[in-house]
């Protein structure tokens, strides 16, 4: 099993604001993909994330406001099955720290390398969304390679 790990620190924000950006349709659409359908504020809910080339359905499996959000992949590309995603939030001085984990990839395939870099780009979009009011969700995301 292989994991993707990341960390960003968000300034000028309360931990509640960051939690909201991870658990509401408007929040998620502000930094990951503009084409987000569903609310992530209840365990069991499904959130649909769509991108140009396809997408993911995530089932909310655990919430502990405002410090923890966990999803499992309900539907998505073969390589993402049966991965889980979690966001751990904590305050540290003037920062809200987000520890991100995309866990349990079966194999460290090239697509995992791509997704790892892409997650960093999207987490920087989350940081920008909260700090400045403007994120870079798909289709306005920064392109990294031949897979976009």
Q: Is 123 helix (H, G, I), strand (E, B) or coil?
A: helix
Instruction: Report the run of H or E that residue 75 belongs to, with start and end.
Output: strand 68-75
45 counts as binding its own copies under rule CB under 8 A: no
114 counts as binding its own copies under rule CB under 8 A: yes
Window contacting its own copies (CB under 8 A); options: 14-22, 74-82, 108-116, 132-140: 108-116
Which residues touch 7 (CB under 8 Å, ≥6 apart)? Answer: 97, 98, 99, 100
**Contact flags string 60-99 toward its own copies, x per CB under 8 A:** --------------------------------xxxx-x-x
140 counts as binding its own copies under rule CB under 8 A: no
Sign of CA dihedral 36, 108, 97, 134: negative
- Pairwise CA distance, residues 133 & 127, whole Å: 9
> Residue numbers of the site for its own copies (CB under 8 A)?
2-9, 92-95, 97, 99-101, 108, 110, 112-114, 116-117, 120-121, 123-124, 127, 142, 144-147
């Amino acid at each position: 099993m292989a994991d993707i790990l990341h960390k960003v620190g968000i300034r000028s924000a309360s931990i509640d604001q960051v939690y909201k950006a991870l658990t509401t349709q408007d929040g998620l659409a502000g930094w990951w993909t503009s084409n987000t359908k569903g609310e992530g504020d209840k365990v069991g809910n499904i959130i649909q994330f769509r991108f140009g080339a396809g997408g993911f359905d995530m089932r909310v499996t655990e919430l502990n406001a405002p410090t923890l959000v966990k999803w499992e992949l309900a539907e998505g590309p073969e390589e993402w099955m049966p991965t889980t995603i979690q966001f751990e939030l904590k305050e540290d001085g003037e920062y809200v720290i987000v520890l991100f984990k995309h866990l349990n990839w079966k194999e460290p395939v090239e697509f995992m390398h791509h997704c790892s870099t892409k997650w960093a780009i999207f987490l920087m979009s989350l940081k920008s969304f909260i700090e400045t009011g403007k994120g870079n969700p798909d289709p306005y995301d920064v392109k990294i390679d031949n897979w976009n």
